[in-house]
Structures are given as C-alpha cells and as structure tokens.
Chain A
Amino acid sequence: MGIVRAEGLKHEYTKYREDESEVKVHALNGVDLDVKEGEFIAILGHNGSGKSTLAKHINALLIPTEGTIWIDEIDTKGEEDLWKVRQRAGMVFQNPDNQIIGTVVDEDVAFGPENLGVPTEKIVKRVEEALTKVGMLKHRDKSPNRLSGGQKQRVAIAGVVAMRPRCIVLDEPTAMLDPTGRKDVLRTVHELNKKEGVTVILITHYMEEVVDADKVFVMDKGRIVMEGTPREVFSRVEEVKGYRMDVPQVTELAWELRKAGLDLPAGILKPEELVDALAALKQ
C-alpha cells in the first residue's frame, strides 16, 4: 500500500461570472496514483494541467469532487483526520518570500511544530535537526531577508521537515532560483529522500531536475499520460514534446546526434553520459 494513493480522483473548480452563472473547470479528470513510501517522484505537465491541484489534494487543501485519495491510508475526505493528513504530507511552494513568516530563521522553522502542539522543549531540538538536514544551521540566527532565494527555499523546506512528515510535496520550488540555488535545493531533497526515507513529490518545469527521480509522471489536461523512469520517459522525445514538455538539453543534443547518424543509446540524461558514450564510439 502506497503512502499516496488515488483512485479516479477528479477535481472541479467552480467559477462565478458577473451575471452569477457558474462555470465548471475540470482540473483533474480521473487520476490514479500509487506512490510507494520512500520513492522520489517527479511530476511534469503543461501550465494548467492540474499539477498544483493534485498537490493540494495530497495536503488536503482541496477535497476530491469525485474519487478518493488516501495519504498513509487516511481518506482526506474525513474532516476529523485533516491534521493527520497535513502532518504526514508537507508542502513547499514556488515563491520563497511568500512562505517565510518568522523574522529569524529559527523562529520560522519552529512555527510548524508549534502549530502541531509539540512541547516547547522538544521544538528547539526539532528545529536544530531540521536546519542541519538542509544545511542551514549556521544561518539560524539570521533574518530570512538576508538570505539568497535558494537559502530561503531551504529554510522553507526545514520548516516542513521540522513537522516530520513522511512525504514532502514541492510545487516548483526552484522556479525563482539561480543555478546554484537550484542545485542546492535539489541536493537537499535528494538527501532527505535517501537518508531519512522521506517520500518526495517534486513538481517542476526544469527537465534537468528530474533525471535522478525514481519515476516521472507527465500530466496533460488533468490526467497522467506518461509514467516511467526518467530514461524511459525522456527516450520518447517526440511524445514528450507533444505534451508541451521538453527533454534535458543534453538529451536533446544526443537525440540530434543520433538523427545525424551517430550510434548513441537512447535516453542519455547527463553530460557525463554523453561524453562517455561519444568516447566509446571513437574507439
């Protein structure tokens, strides 16, 4: 039984026009999902494909219009279990500035566990642990607005980690970051996944960021339309592009070289792999 499981999950938003007529938006059109504990999942999909809507269901910020989603076997429809769901699945959003509320890093990270009712004497330890895990302990006394974007995102992740969730959903956490910040955040979530066994669900528009995931899902119009390891998914270059997605730049280069007649394997994902494959060809 997976930590996040969905069957026939549908979500409809209702919009009201000025004349008070209603318009329904079918944001999720029957999503089936089974994420095993400890997996690292990446979700890709065009703008408006339903990624954030799905993420909000994992955190019980939204409740299914139809179908069911279980977090650690808990049906999110049960209102009395809401806090249990939120404790098990933490969320990190795109814009670091909108999620940090404390005036000092320490204080910000403590906010989550405080809300969960963790006793004060235990909070200090949890905050230290969380900041250590994201490599930000030495900045604990700083004001968050003295930090770079990547550092702020790591503080936001620490805030979630301090609640000891079994699963973290990150909704485009690197969209506002420079290359180094992106790398740091990615390294941090991979470490949490490997060392602590936290299940990670990463939503991103950067194809390079998903090459180390266990599985990639591609969403299209409220459905999951491709699913597989990064290599499987990115080997299907044309299909991926048909869904308004892309492949990592080096995958594209390898694909172009194959088309021009070089005998390279499909689904090269990293610069080192391409260099090795080309070196092998030369011999």
Chain B
Amino acid sequence: MQLELKDVSFTYNPGMIYEVKALDHVNLAIEKGQFIGVIGHTGSGKSTLIQHFNALMKPTEGQILYEGEDIWGDKYDQKTLRTQVGLVFQYPEHQLFETDVITDVMFGPKNQGLSLEEAKVRALRALVQVGLPEQYYNSSPFELSGGQKRRVAIAGVLAMDPQVLILDEPTAGLDPAGRDEILDQISFLHKERGITIILVSHSMEDVARYADRLIVVNDGKIPFDGTPKEVFSHYKELEAMGLAAPQVTYCMHGLQERGFDVDVTADTVEEARDSILKAFGRSVPAPEKEDNRPAGRREKSGRKGRR
C-alpha cells in the first residue's frame, strides 16, 4: 500500500472553547496508481485530510504510513516525502512567493538539490504542461489573473516530479478550456507515468469523468468510499451532505421516471448519450479513439466536450 491512514483524528485548537474536530477516526488505504476524487461540503475536512498525506499536519491521534513507513516515526525523512507527495494548495497565492514565474516554479526542484540548469529544464517543462503562455514566464506571479496563478502553482509542484500528486480544488477559478487542459494533463500524467492522483473538487461532473474512486468527506468522517457510480447512486444522501450527482445523472433519473429504459448510473455525457440512444433503438456512435497526447499538443478547434 502506498499511503495508509490508520484511525487518524485531528482537532484544531484542542482544549480551547473554539476547538474543532476536523477529522474523526479516519481509515484509508490508497494504492499506487489510483485516481481518487475527494468530495465534501465546505468545511467538511477535505483540506485538513490531504495535508496529512505529506506531513504538513500532524494527526492528533492515529498513524500515517507512506510505503509502509510511519511518516511521524523518529528518523523519518519528511523533506523527501514532500517532494514525493506533492501538494497543490487550495489558494494558489499561498504557494507563490518568488519575484517572477520561472523562479517560482524552479524553487521546488532547486530545493530538491538539483542544479540551476536542471531546475530550469524541469520548470520550463512544467510550465508547458500547465499551458501558461510563454509571455508570462518573467512576470511577477502577483500580476497574473486568477486562473494564471493557479497554473503557476500547479507547475511548481509538477516540477518536483512527484509520485503522488494531490490537488486541492485545482480548477476553481479556471475557465472551462483551462479546466479541461489541466485535468487532461493530470490524467495523462496518471496514465503515462502511473502517478497516484488525489483530486479534491466541488465539481461532481469532473470527478465523475476522471476519478476511478471517490471518497466522500462529511464532518470529518468518510461515509462513502467507492467507484463514482456506487457513490452517486446515493445521490439523495449526498444532497443532504451539501453535494449532488452530475447533471446528466439527474436527466437519467428523470427519464426513468417517465418510463424510459435507461441506465441511471450514467454519470458522463458519453454514457448518458449512449444509453438514451439505445432506449430509442438508435445505433450508438463508435467510441472516439482516446487522445493520449498532453493537452497542450492537441488541435485547439478539436476540443471535445469535457464530460
């Protein structure tokens, strides 16, 4: 097992009147190469949870293992851990501090002990991967638009070549094409290099499309953990937790109520389309060959629907 949480609890300000129990006896096992979506209402504990994965936060109780080793053990090398388990913060401005973009992205690899030249090669590659136009490489990160800052923050982590990539709402504030580009790029890294991905998101459509496992966080606990289809079949319970199912899933339920013989577990546009066409006795279009090239290399005009 790559990452394991054993009975982990975390309390902010323990013993004070404003103490908050943010994680409540959480158990999780994450295998190498999984693509995991993490969903939950605002304040449910998602950010707290993922900051435990690379030892940015120390559990009040319980144990965290990376490749079988206790990351809070005596001689454990947390510095190396943080380069292997890369975390992109929820608010990119918390992650940007250098005077220009390229130096900012070079920070991680330099910190890993790479030479300036090597660090620069890594940084340039990462900036291409996140699709930031070259004209901004020498800009101050603080002069960028919201979406541009987000890309720089992601590049900073990618440049460290992590084994596990954790992204805390990486597409919040990105335009739809940017969201597709970033998620396609992440999905490419996942497939091509077998990187484990942990994606925190408020977009049910995005996690349905990309993740093979969904973890639901609710008040510091994990009420559901399964494939997106399993989890979204509980959509009524999810709604009570501030969540929802993807929009097309609601269409499918609506159609079933009107007597259509459709697959109510469909949670992407393609699945919903195929199931509806079948119900109408139409032939289903052949699946398009999957495009495995990184997002930046695709023809712009050919951008396919995201879901």
Contact = CB atoms under 8 A, between A and B. Distances in A.
Interface residues of B, number: 57
Contacts of A1: none
B53 to A, nearest CB: 21
Interface string B151-180: 000000000000000000100111111110
Interface of B: 18, 40-43, 90-91, 99, 138-140, 143-148, 169, 172-179, 202, 204-205, 239, 242-244, 246-248, 250-251, 254-255, 258, 260, 269-270, 272-273, 276-277, 280, 282, 284-285, 301, 303, 305-307
B108 to A, nearest CB: 22
A260 B246 contact: no
17 contacts: A48-B147, A148-B242, A149-B42, A176-B42, A176-B169, A181-B41, A208-B247, A242-B301, A244-B175, A249-B205, A249-B248, A253-B276, A255-B305, A262-B280, A275-B254, A275-B255, A282-B280
Contact of A262 (B179, B258, B282): B282
A148 B269 contact: no
B202 A178 contact: yes
Given A47-B148, A52-B145, A180 B244 contact: yes
B202 A250 contact: no
Nearest to A153: B42
Given A143-B18, A257-B273, 18 more contacts: A17-B138, A149-B42, A149-B43, A172-B173, A176-B172, A178-B242, A179-B202, A180-B239, A181-B242, A207-B176, A241-B303, A244-B176, A249-B247, A249-B269, A261-B282, A262-B277, A271-B247, A275-B251
Contacts of B148: 47-48
The interface size bin for chain A is 35 or more
A106 interface: no
Contacts of A149: 42-43
Given A47-B146, A180-B41, A282-B260, A260 B250 contact: no
Given A178-B40, A252-B305, A257 B277 contact: yes
Given A257-B273, A282-B260, A246 B285 contact: no
Interface centre among A148, A150, A246, A261, by most chain B C-beta atoms within 10 angstroms, is A246
B42 A150 contact: yes
Contacts of B307: 249, 252
Secondary structure type dominating chain B contacts: loop
A253 B178 contact: no
A183 to B, nearest CB: 8
Contacts of B90: 176
Nearest to B305: A252
A47 B178 contact: yes
A148 B45 CA distance: 12
Contacts of A143: 18
A15 interface: yes
Contacts of B91: 95
Contact of A260 (B41, B43, B173, B273): B273
B139 to A, nearest CB: 7
